[in-house]
Amino acid sequence: MAIGYDGARRLFKLDTTNTTYMIALSPEGYVGHVYYGRRIYGEGDTRLLRMEEEPYTPSVNEGEKASFMDFFPMEYPTGGVSDYRESCLEVRASSGGPGCELLYADHKIYKGKKKLAGLPASFGTEDETETLDLYCEDGVLGLKVILSYAVFEKENVIARSVRAENSGGETLRLEKVYSACIDMDNEDYEMLTLCGSWARERHIQTRSLAYGKQSVASAKGESSHQQHPFMALVSPGCTQEQGEAYAMHFVYSGNFLAQTELTQFDAVRMVMGISPEGFCWVLRPGEVFQAPEVILTYSDRGLGQMTRSYHDFYRNHLIRSPYRDRKRPILINNWEATYFAFDTEKLLEIARVAGSAGIEMFVMDDGWFGKRNEPKGSLGDWVVNEEKLKGGLSCLVEQINALGMDFGIWFEPEMISPDSDLYRAHPDWAIRLPGRTPVQSRNQYVLDLSRPDVREYVYESVAAILRSANITYVKWDMNRQLSDLGSAWLAADSQGELSHRFVLGLYELQEKLVTEFPDLLLENCSSGGGRFDPGMLYYSPQIWCSDDTDAIERLVIQEGTALVYPLSAIGAHVSACPNHMLKRSTPFETRGHVALAGTFGYELDVTKLDHEELAMIPVQVELYHKYNDLIRSGDYYRIASYRENHSHDCWAVAAKDGSEVLLTWVQVFARPNVHSRRVRLQGFDPKSRYRLEGTGQIYSGEMLLYGGFLMENLQGDYQSRLLHFVRV
């Protein structure tokens, strides 16, 4: 049993294979956080709540309740009742005053896990997960709050979510509803987050904690390029193999906040949820608000273990696509090959060369519809441009299919161009503030997905194209962030719901799409990796990682992305050199090796490659087919980081049964007059012996792990090697 309840101590104990999480109730019914960390096999106790110390609990010391409220480690702190740390729930009654106090009412423990209405969420069978629902109440407001904890033993994960029900007679305004909180004593923790920008997404950043609040957030209507809805508190000097990490990752694709507060008593409060900035949800009597879920994990074996827990969890319990366990077709995308300048003949020219080199799918990117020949106009007019695609879409698709290739297509369904027939007919479908000219970004506005009529139009536009030809892949793009948050459809007092309703609308659309087209391979994208988040992973098994396709830049971007996401989710392509963004030239082989640590595909004009590079495509295609099962399903080990050492990068993927390990080495900069580099490897079974393929050399797992492997100094910058070790 993963969840136990000790009635005498009023203590809940949630166990996974390596971790324990404990919750206990104060005599009054405050829900306290006792412990999260290494597995405790015996019984728990409530001493860590310090209820026997001053200021004692309110039933003992009613006259000094404020001190109790402001230090007690809460599972789900509320605002307005003298807990001055960051609250998770802010409620305003119709009388106008803010304030909410939650006390335990009841609980349920059951096998399996419920769905979260309208939201992406992890799932598991009754054998795989067990859930604790804690029912809390504020009797004054008539508000019920259910704190859910789904325990996934095998992956060392707890999925937390929150549901608020208005069971009273008054309308309530929810001004903040976070999804998770951990209160614990500080132990010199450092805060690790993933930060960046367009073309520099998800760089790993670590900083020490200072008194007060430190956070990452997005107010852009998407999870964003700049900050990622992930936060870990790590012990000082935490490495890949040693140290502690407490991590939270948000299954949500809109505005978020992840924050750690270091308090006056040297405790930390880590919270995560929908950003309260601009958020206000009107909860009428009888209505329910479901907050998205946070995926928690704890590792006492360094960041590497945290990473592998997330990878396993997302592969087993979040990605639903039938492609999850399948090799994805190797695709070629025409974006960097042609941008908007293409017609049927040009696309077929690329496809013919690509198909004969072993590439399996052709993806037509932006520019195939309306009058779109530059990033301006026509978004919303999802009508094939027959001047470019003579004979129409089905004619192109048939010819691509005749080459033995699948066909995929690009959409940006959430957008509307001012210069479009759609906007001329429905200006009120754009998100905008009354009386103001809405801000344009990339010459476009955002559609108001809170409106059912807009969603209907968007869905039918996409579905009609998919029904019209044999299309097996969709790249769903989003190239601007939200602003001017006003909806012509929502009531005046519900305008604060728009950002969240937009995300719910997006989820509804993608749910419909994967339901009507169950075999569709969906790849989400947002100007590169601006909406790479666990919410999107629920609908699409892969997400375009970054518009930066330079192999060296990708080392850092993919390192940060792979900190939490399985390699099978990371969209990665081989592109042309000099790289369009950086003008850097890297060997074709290195570009291939880096893209193999992702979904693998191409994004260049293959008709312009010289013979030597063209001849490398079939070699890379063969490598993909040989290693993709391992890369998709194996354990990922980060061995060296170019971000840290400014010299080289190295990672390994090991089969779960220890039978093989694929090592990727990238020497970013060559060095003169040096010996080989000793690299201590990871991922090997110490008791096994391995043959390094292509050499006949045998190594013991122990020697590779503890003694290390001697990596030769390669000739030149940006060189790489794939080393495949097979157990003998």
What six digits make up the tokens of 301?
Answer: 């074996």
User: What are the backbone dihedrals phi and psi of residue 528, each rounded to the nearest 5 degrees, phi first?
Assistant: 85, -125
What is the closest distance, in whole angstroms, from the C-beta atom of residue 388 to ligand DGJ in the complex?
Answer: 15
The least distance separating ligand DGJ from the CB of residue 71, rounded to whole angstroms, comes to 47
Instruction: Please state the closest distance from residue 375 (CB atom) to ligand DGJ, in A.
Output: 6
Which of the residues are catalytic? 477, 547
In the complex, what is the shortest distance from the CB of residue 540 to ligand DGJ, in angstroms, rounded to a whole number?
Answer: 14
- At 400, is the secondary structure helix, strand, or coil? helix
Residue nearest ligand DGJ (C-beta atom) = 366
Residue whose CB is less far from ligand DGJ, 302 or 408: 408
Closest approach of ligand DGJ to the CB of residue 365, in Å: 5
Respond yes or no on whether the N-terminal peptide bond of residue 541 is cis (omega within 30° of 0): no
State the Cα–Cα distance between residues 554 and 670, nearest whole angstrom: 19
CB nearer to ligand DGJ: give 526 or 590. Answer: 526
For ligand DGJ, the closer CB: 35 or 410: 410
- Beta-carbon contacts of 508 under 8 Å, excluding residues fewer than 6 positions away, are 118, 455
Give the H/E segment covering residue 21.
strand 19-25
Closest alpha carbon to 320 in 506, 542, 501, 494? 542
DSSP assignments along 296-307, one per residue: EEEESBHHHHHH
Structure tokens at 726: 């097979």
Which residue, 416 or 525, has its beta carbon nearer to ligand DGJ? 525
Smallest gap from residue 366 Cβ to ligand DGJ (A): 3
* CA–CA gap between residue 33 and residue 55 (Å, rounded): 17
| CB 477 to ligand DGJ: min, Å | 5
- Binding residues (CB under 6 A) for ligand DGJ: these are 335, 365-366, 375, 410, 477, 479, 525, 527-528, 544, 547
Nearer to ligand DGJ, 485 or 557 (CB): 557
CA 712 to chain centre: 36
The nearest distance, CB 178 to ligand DGJ, in angstroms, is 31
Residue with Cβ nearer ligand DGJ (121 or 379): 379
How far is it, in rounded angstroms, from Cα 259 to Cα 252? Answer: 16
Q: How far is the CB of 525 from ligand DGJ (least distance, A)?
A: 5
155 or 603: whose CB is closer to ligand DGJ?
603
CA separation for the pair 250, 217 (Å, rounded): 11
Q: Which two tokens stand for residue 440?
A: 């344009």
Q: Which of 415, 422, 420 is nearest to 441 (CA)?
A: 415
Nearer to ligand DGJ, 448 or 548 (CB): 548
Provide the 3-class DSSP secondary structure of residue 625: helix
User: 233, 287, 280: which is closest to 255 by C-alpha?
Assistant: 280
Q: How far is the CB of 337 from ligand DGJ (least distance, A)?
A: 12
Dist. CA 498–CA 484, nearest whole Å: 11
Looking at beta carbons only, is 145 or 525 nearer to ligand DGJ? 525
What's the min distance (Å) between Cβ of 357 and ligand DGJ? 21
Handedness of CA 396, 399, 403, 407 (dihedral sign): positive
Instruction: List the one residue out of 616, 557, 672, 682 whose CA is nearest residue 303.
Output: 682
Residue 408 backbone dihedrals phi, psi, to 5 degrees = -130, 160
Q: What is the DSSP letter of 531?
A: T
In the bound state with ligand DGJ, the residue whose beta carbon lies nearer, of 15 and 336, is: 336
* Cβ contact 206:216 at 8 Å: no
Distance in angstroms (rounded) separating the CA atoms of residues 352 and 278: 51
DSSP 447-467: B-TTSHHHHHHHHHHHHHHHH
Q: Is 248 helix (H, G, I), strand (E, B) or coil?
A: strand
Q: Among candidates 190, 191, 194, which has minimal Cα distance to 557?
A: 194
Give burial (CB, 10 Å; 0-12/13-18/19+) of 237. Answer: exposed
**DSSP string for 660-703:** EEEEEEEE-S--SS--PEEE---S--TT-EEEETTTTEEEEHHI
Q: Check: CB of residue 690 under 8 Å from CB of residue 725.
A: yes
227 beta partners: 195
Cβ-contact 422, 377 below 8 angstroms: no
* Cβ distance to ligand DGJ smaller for residue 272 or 447: 447
